[in-house]
């Protein structure tokens, strides 16, 4: 049975936030998932409030951790095709005289 670790220590919570802010999107989600799982019952809600993320984000991170071995996008931050689309400017395509 997992123990309940909800210490509420402001220094520790700041350390968690500071570290999470150095990570990319995928790693931050997985870090939050690991921290939440370590805390047991109520861990997802607690970590979501500390890190300022959604509980759904943490649940997604837990699902990703359960499937790490067959991760098709290992080493990538986003899925192929995800993210901001490239912007094309009509003025750049025009020929200048």
In tens, the pLDDT along 25-75 reads 989 999 999 999 999 999 999 999 999 999 999 999 999 988 877 766 666
Average pLDDT over residues 4-20: 83
Structure confidence at residue 85 (pLDDT): 74
Closest to 43 in 3D by CA, of 52, 33, 53: 33
End-to-end alpha-carbon separation of the chain, Å? 74
Confidence (pTM): 0.67
Distance between CA atoms of residues 63 and 74, nearest Å: 15
89 φ, ψ (degrees, to nearest 5): -110, 125
CA 77 to chain centre: 10
Q: How far apart are CA 80 and CA 89, in angstroms?
A: 23
């Amino acid at each position: 049975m997992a123990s309940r670790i909800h210490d509420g220590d402001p220094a520790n919570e700041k350390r968690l936030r500071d570290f999470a802010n150095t990570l990319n999107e995928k790693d931050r989600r997985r870090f939050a998932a690991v921290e939440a799982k370590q805390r047991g019952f109520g861990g997802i809600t607690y970590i979501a409030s500390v890190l300022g993320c959604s509980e759904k984000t943490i649940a997604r991170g837990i699902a990703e951790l359960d499937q790490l071995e067959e991760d098709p996008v290992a080493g990538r931050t986003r899925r192929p095709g995800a993210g901001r689309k490239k912007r094309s400017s009509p003025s750049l395509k025009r020929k200048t005289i």
